[in-house]
Structure 1
């Protein structure tokens, strides 16, 4: 038959006759209608990569939605699959998703709990049907139609700010205008709040834009709201990044950042960016060996990693006592402009890594170049600029490397 009424994968059965997911005992695991549809498409093509575009087209035909809507459905699916189904749904970075595991199709649905279902009273059955109809009407149709224009505006805004380019402040302001309009009309749009917070975070990150404590506080407030509204991995990752790297000590919280980073990885464990932020949080809170394992996993998942992934790898290797590997990660990123921009800290890490690896002459040249650009002219000054490194033993490793490279105390 072309349309199997049940699809098995792993220890689960997608019962299409009753529109539900059942585990090995026959117990139903609740999924919202759109999340069920995403799982159905993946089950039909299990063992194959299904692109994000294909999933969106099959789940929201003729409606424009953002990747956040799909990511939330994937998060729902992972939640109901639970620990026993953790490895069944895989993320293929920047491409899509794949449902794995042996599967089969059946003409008749497998329903171990069917007799119990038939034994229920007709009154209770009627009440359940009314409740399910109410949930159906309340969730997919109105919300998707209502949010489609909003999601389109969020996608447009994200395209403007995705490069995080300090030369494109006008794009940031345009994105902010789009996002403010979305949250004004729909104050529960988690994706819009997260992106709006990012526009303020960029004000702080790009020194030329002049963002200060007020912008930092607004960024945190908005992304925290996104998380509270059920924002996905991106919201948790962004909040972890801000809590790690805020230039204002009273707004940093490495422990909270670590919790947010772990949440992002729990939601989407195969996204390299989630893993890289988690590795950075681990390294900065004294868990360098775990950080190494985590960043190695991120680098394996992404064949063309971003520069900041290599920076996190260098930090992790240095603090874990592998300075030669740290220098390998940081060396290709070092250049004439290293100490002339806001990403100066990998330069200090590179100098420290070279020194600990016994390459003292090269380390001394890096330090000499730094002294011509940076306000920190002593090891003590560098220590103050690394106040985001919560692990005292890790900071000591960096500072000792700079002393070995000949930097004055």
Structure 2
């Protein structure tokens, strides 16, 4: 669909829902509260999110002067067609209808926008990079009708939970012949055996019928609802984690086997995420290249921008020159702002906003967006682990961040080693230095592992272990300086900065 200037009009799901609400009450004021409820039926968001939707709608309608979607101060918004009127043939009866030709155009345009957005509305926030999944009914292997009902409920809950993701498109059942084949099929089975319920689920790539992920759960029959929750959460985490989930991992495996000159934006994004997690300066540069190419192919790819921001964060942590750090931070700010403009409610973007708010000195806002990210993505293991990591630069998040990382590890049973960084930093900031050291033993061979280990061991009084960690830190990053690291991470609050600096100095880390 194109607007009067010929521009393509495709709305995000939230904006399409807000437009639909306005269209249902043409020429009437719709309150902010009603529009917020229509756009975000299960969430609590600020007026700023609504304002961004209204802006997107106006752009889509070519409404540069806000003449069609009008602001009603302190109340809401009103959809008003233009007032130039012509007489149309009367309908049955004596009534005559006066309608604006431009109003007809606006209504047709709105209907077209809503039609274009129908797929998006039914599937979260579908994009060309999404992977589609059919969820087939879970089989009851025991034959007892009671357990058939449990299996049916498990299927429905799984579909509902997966549908919340903006990473995959979900449908229930096998598509009929007229529908496109889905990329993956999720299947499952339930069996009752001697008061123990066993559930298995597996994901198959439909192209070659290869099983790319499977998992088993079991528990006593009297705890069936807790078991159901565990299954739904586990499936959701395995499929929807965009960096380390089963679908992302399988797509990466296929992407790496192809000609790099022909990669699509999604494949470039996956390769960028892969090199990001290798935690070396060379890999950061490779990741930056892949992600910049991804964003060039698709300038609306929010996740590529937010992942690029993470790459710049990792680059900055290895620098010792404040001027070079400033240049990298400027790139990071631009990447975060672009991600936030494209997807202001994306949890991965919100985690990056935590750093940006801290960088600008607004630590209350930093904490708020971090917690909002976790609230929006309780089953996204990557988001939970990243929140535990990044959040502990800004403040002592406390037991909450420990719980986030532990839940991430429970959800993603093959969790990558970078999850352990957040686990270590959470415990360090709580003053549990022994637990921090233990957690960091599973972290990648990366500067933060050895910086926090050195500081923790020094604060515990084990100077020999502290020195070993400090030596390894300088082997990895010979020009490392604590002062530049603190600037890069925006670690300025005394309760976070003080113990880290004290322990690092005792361990001989260059300041």
Q: If the TM-score is normalised by the length of the shorter chain, which range does it land in? A: 0.5 to 0.7
CA distance in 1, matches of 2:432, 2:123: 43
CA contact under 8 A between 1:354 and 1:362: conserved in structure 2? yes
Q: Which residue of 1 is the match for residue 8 of structure 2?
A: none
CA distance in 1, matches of 2:310, 2:510: 34
1:233 paired with 2:324, answer no
Aligned length: 282
The Cα shift of 1:403 comes to 4.5
Q: TM-score, normalised by structure 2?
A: 0.45
The 5 A counterparts of 1:9-408 are 45-48=152-155, 49=158, 55-56=170-171, 61-62=179-180, 90=233, 92-95=236-239, 153-165=264-276, 166-167=282-283, 172-173=288-289, 176-183=292-299, 189=300, 192-196=301-305, 198-199=307-308, 202=311, 205-206=314-315, 212-228=328-344, 231-240=345-354, 250=359, 254-284=363-393, 285-333=395-443, 338=445, 343-370=446-473, 373-375=477-479, 382-383=482-483, 385-387=485-487, 388-405=490-507
CA contact under 8 A between 1:201 and 1:242: conserved in structure 2? no
**For residues 113-144 of structure 1, what are the alpha-carbon distances to aligned partners after superposition, in whole Å with 9 as ceiling and x for unaligned?**
xxxxxxxxxxxxxxxxxxxxxxxxxxxxxxxx
The Cα shift of 1:366 comes to 2.4
The Cα shift of 1:402 comes to 3.1
CA distance in 1, matches of 2:469, 2:503: 12
CA distance in 2, matches of 1:270, 1:308: 18
CA distance in 1, matches of 2:437, 2:269: 34
CA RMSD of aligned residues (A): 4.5
Tell me which protein shows more strand as a share of its residues: 2
Residue 170 of structure 2: SS of its match in structure 1? helix
The Cα shift of 1:365 comes to 2.6
The Cα shift of 1:408 comes to 8.2
**For residues 157-210 of structure 1, what are the alpha-carbon distances to aligned partners after superposition, in whole Å with 9 as ceiling and x for unaligned?**
423322134448567546544533434xxxxx5xx1342454466356447998
Distance 1:216 1:262, change over 3 A: same
CA contact under 8 A between 1:268 and 1:274: conserved in structure 2? yes
Q: Which residue of 1 is the match for residue 108 of structure 2?
A: none
Residue 418 of structure 2: SS of its match in structure 1? helix
**Structure 1, unaligned runs of 5 or more:** 1-27, 67-86, 98-151, 184-188, 245-249
The Cα shift of 1:374 comes to 3.9
CA contact under 8 A between 1:157 and 1:179: conserved in structure 2? no
The Cα shift of 1:65 comes to 9.7
CA distance in 1, matches of 2:371, 2:400: 12
Kindly indicate whether structure 1 or structure 2 has the higher relative contact order, using CA contacts under 8 Å at least 6 residues apart: 1
The Cα shift of 1:269 comes to 0.6
Tell me which protein shows more helix as a share of its residues: 1
Distance 1:297 1:174, change over 3 A: closer
Residue 363 of structure 1: SS of its match in structure 2? helix
CA distance in 1, matches of 2:284, 2:502: 39
The Cα shift of 1:328 comes to 0.6
CA contact under 8 A between 2:409 and 2:415: conserved in structure 1? yes
The Cα shift of 1:349 comes to 0.5
Distance 1:331 1:181, change over 3 A: closer
Distance 1:168 1:395, change over 3 A: closer
CA contact under 8 A between 2:434 and 2:460: conserved in structure 1? yes
**For residues 325-348 of structure 1, what are the alpha-carbon distances to aligned partners after superposition, in whole Å with 9 as ceiling and x for unaligned?**
1111113447xxx5xxxx423311
Distance 1:226 1:357, change over 3 A: same
**For residues 70-129 of structure 1, what are the alpha-carbon distances to aligned partners after superposition, in whole Å with 9 as ceiling and x for unaligned?**
xxxxxxxxxxxxxxxxx89746312369xxxxxxxxxxxxxxxxxxxxxxxxxxxxxxxx
Residue 55 of structure 1: SS of its match in structure 2? strand
**Structure 2, unaligned runs of 5 or more:** 1-36, 42-116, 125-133, 138-151, 185-228, 242-262, 277-281
CA distance in 2, matches of 1:95, 1:153: 21
CA contact under 8 A between 1:194 and 1:226: conserved in structure 2? no
